[in-house]
Amino acid sequence: MKITFKLNGENVSIEVESYKRLIDMLREDFELTGTKEGCSIGECGACTVLMDGKAVNSCLVLAAQIDGAEILTIEGVNQGNNLSDLQRNFLTHGAVQCGFCTPGMILSSLALLNENPNPTVEEIEESIAGNLCRCTGYKQIIEAVKATAEMSNQKLRNQSA
């Protein structure tokens, strides 16, 4: 079936098989392999993407269900050739080890920061409770998100000063 949607800011149309999930279409048809498949049943969060600004598991959405929606994958998070502050903070805070959970972690925390620019540690923990990381122990990830929130608030203060 034919679907039309916005992918990382660009309008796209594609003829997609009805049995494909969003993750299959992203990886196979668009070759956006930053979105990872872990558990395939909505428990690990490695396949998290944003659908109309909200974090969803792309293994729990059929490609046909995103007709008309806006999808953001990890490939659309960077700003031009530069990493976003959130991505850079993941690196500087040691929040990336094996890297398999990282795209999902970044998209879950990006959805949080877009809705809530001043999250508490508890709110950060809740936002990534659906993303498993077996390397870092989460502490570095939470620090990276916190640091990003502080940076963007500092930028806002500088702009208004």
Stretch that binds another protein, among 26-34, 39-47, 85-93, 139-147 (CB under 8 A): 39-47
Locate the DSSP E strands across 52-121.
54-57, 70-72
Task: Tell whether residue 19 is a contact of another protein (CB under 8 A).
Answer: yes
What lies within 8 Å, CB to CB, of 45 at 6+ separation is 38, 57, 101, 104, 105, 108, 128, 130, 131, 132
Q: Which is nearer to another protein, 61 or 147 (CB)?
A: 61
Task: Tell whether residue 67 is a contact of another protein (CB under 8 A).
Answer: yes
- Say which residue the tokens 């990872």 belong to: 36
Q: Mask: binding to another protein, 91-130, rule CB under 8 A, as x and -? A: -----------------x--x--------------xx-xx
Can you say how many angstroms the Cα of residue 45 is from the centroid of all Cα atoms in its chain?
10
- Say which residue the tokens 């950060």 belong to: 124
What is the DSSP code (8-state) at residue 65? G
Task: Tell whether residue 56 is a contact of another protein (CB under 8 A).
Answer: yes
Stretch that binds another protein, among 28-36, 38-46, 81-89, 152-160 (CB under 8 A): 38-46
Q: Which of 35, 48, 87, 102 binds another protein (CB under 8 A)?
A: 48
